[in-house]
Structure 1
Amino acid sequence: MFEIIRQGGWLMIPIVASSILSIAIIAERYWALRQNAVQPKETLPQVWGWIKNNQLDGNKLKQLKQSSAFGQILSSGLTASKHGREAMKDAIIESGTHVSHELERFLSLLGTIVMVTPLLGLLGTVIGMIDVFGELMIGGAGNPAPLAGGIQQALITTAAGLTVAIPAMIFHRALQRKVDNLLISMEQASTKLVDAIHTEKDD
């Protein structure tokens, strides 16, 4: 493995670094985007219990906001509850926008890795072919060893760039889909709470 990296030339350094960084981002995001961490199942029943027992106050809202991304969305909606149903929904949507940025943290960097690593591989290909033609101009085609070395460098960097970019693209799309699903789930649960609160008030 190290011999292949060495043969690929100096461009293998940013490609390998991009590989390590993409693995770190993927692992961190999958850990951070666990369903129970983002939208704990017990949050909604707990909030509804506070409302039913008239225990919802500033301290409870602060505790809710700090508990999870879902808690942050709910606390924004509950804070605006005195202004009516539409105000609650607007607050939930606005808070959801802020939460989405947090959930998508590092995904733009992963997307950049997806785009850059094939270009680094292509650059390695160009440099390798330049070396090949340079050797041809100097020594002709009589000695195939330098020519093979340049072609090998070109192929190694191209393969390495694609090897990093393809899995990174797959995980980037999977993580983006995971974020979208979490946001939809939290929005639907928040809307149910809004409807339940105002149905209770209407009754």
Structure 2
Amino acid sequence: MQELLQLFKLGGFVLPLLILLAVIALAIIGNRFWVLRKTRIAPRDLAPRVTDLVEAGKVQQAVKLLYENDTPLARLMLVALQQAGQPRDVIKESIEESGRQEVAHLDRFLNFLGSIAGVSPLLGLLGTVFGIMHAFAAIGMVGAGDPKALASGIAEALITTASGLIVAIPSLIFYRYFKGQVDGLVLAIEKEALKVVNTLSGGSGR
């Protein structure tokens, strides 16, 4: 514990900022893992149930079921049913517009996570600069012959550089991962919504 406190002190004012960013990044990652579960975005049995109701001519029951399931998939399928009777291209455009709105919702906090990934190395570099400045200041005061005088500044430079990378690398990895997840999930629910359109029109797949 004492060693950690010593490292914290050696890290200068940049290290607490990096620790704060690390905590925020962990919170965002945990939140997105919870929100972007496939069962929460597209419940497995919802699309087949709605398709069966539509094929049976029970459109109102299908609409009621979708209203009761407030999920991204349900919202897109609801758009498809509400546009029943319109040309297929119009329905498809409405679904894609709703899909873009869902992307904006599912992307929530991801831009901030990406910003953390970009800012953290810069903060680490800033700490490095200050550490080197402190090291040169120590040389100016006691000369280059006393390594202990340089240790604090060099430690600050190394600690902040490493901390910045430690925060940035996982943040960037998870940012890219979640962006891919969002794109894949939205594409999947758009396809499911278009299946409803095909069922209504008696057409084939996308």
Structure 2-normalised TM-score? 0.90
Indicate whether 1:159 and 2:147 are aligned.
no
Indicate whether 1:123 and 2:126 are aligned.
yes
Match of 2:17 among 14, 24, 34: 14
Greater Cα offset, 85-94 or 186-195: 186-195
Match of 2:45 among 38, 42, 45: 42
Shift of residue 69, structure 1, vs aligned partner: 0.7
Match of 1:93 among 96, 120, 125: 96
The AA in structure 2 aligned to 1:51 is: V
How many aligned residue pairs are there? 199
CA-to-partner distance for each residue in 1:133-160, whole Å, 9 max, x for gaps? 1111222113221211100100000000
Residue 82 of structure 1 aligns to a residue whose secondary structure is coil
The AA in structure 2 aligned to 1:115 is: G
Q: Distance in 2 between matches of 1:184 and 1:120?
A: 37
Gaps in structure 2 of 5+ consecutive residues: none
Q: Contact conserved, 1:81 with 1:87, CA < 8 A, in 2?
A: no
Residue 71 of structure 1 aligns with which residue? 74
Q: Distance in 2 between matches of 1:197 and 1:62?
A: 16
Q: Percent identity?
A: 35
Q: Distance in 2 between matches of 1:150 and 1:97?
A: 49
The AA in structure 1 aligned to 2:79 is: S
Gaps in structure 1 of 5+ consecutive residues: none
Residue 198 of structure 2 aligns with which residue? 195
Q: Which runs of 4+ in 1 moved over 6 A?
A: none
CA-to-partner distance for each residue in 1:89-112, whole Å, 9 max, x for gaps? 111000000000111111000000
Shift of residue 82, structure 1, vs aligned partner: 2.3
